[in-house]
Structures are given as structure tokens and as C-alpha cells.
Amino acid sequence: MSKESKEGKDREDKFMAKTVVIVGGAAILSFGVFLLLIPVSSIGTATDTHEACNSVIGTLGKVFSSEISQRCQQVEDMAFGSYALIGIGTLLVIVGAIYKKIKS
């Protein structure tokens, strides 16, 4: 394998890795946003339900009902997971976008 073809192969590999990082990050980011937008209860999305659980009435409900307390914990975990996916996806897209250019 000549030196030029090896350099060309390295460039293709780095470009492919950069593309995979950006596309993978965008997919993870999209999935995280999707999880935040789907309704999880009659109240609404995970963030809406989490806010309701942390309100005065929600706090009283958690004190008197273990089922409500358990559901509020599940919603909190779902919201946290969504935020984590959004953060990871954003980080991957940024890393892929600012990946150093291949030296000519």
C-alpha cells in the first residue's frame, strides 16, 4: 500500500468516525427530546408531572399514598434520564462538529 493511499484511507476513516459521532449524537439528542414530549400521565409530560409532584398538593399526596410516591419517583427518573440523553447527545454533536480538521 502506497503512502498516499494509506493517508487517503486514514482521512476516510476519520471522516467516517466524525460522521458517526455527529449522527449518533443527533439520534440520542432526538430520543431524549422525544421522551420529554410524550405524555406520561393525565397531567401531561414528564416535566409537567414532576412539577405537579413537587407542588404542595403533590407533596401531600406522596405523604399519604405510597403509590403516588412511587409514580412520582418514576417520573423524576424519566425526566432525569431524558435530560441526561439530551446532554450526552448535545455533547457528542459538539465534539463531532469541532473535531480537528485532518491535516493535508
pTM: 0.77
Integer-rounded Cα Rg, in Å, for the chain is 22
Q: Work out the average pLDDT over 86-92.
A: 96
**pLDDT band, residue 103 (cuts 50/70/90):** very low
Cell of 22: 455527529
pLDDT band at 3 (very low <50, low <70, confident <90, very high): low
How far apart are the C-alpha atoms of 98 and 92, rounded to whole Å? 10
Average pLDDT of the chain is 84
Instruction: Report yes or no: 46 and 40 within 8 Å, Cβ to Cβ.
Output: yes
Name the nearest CA neighbour of 50 among 76, 83, 86. Answer: 76
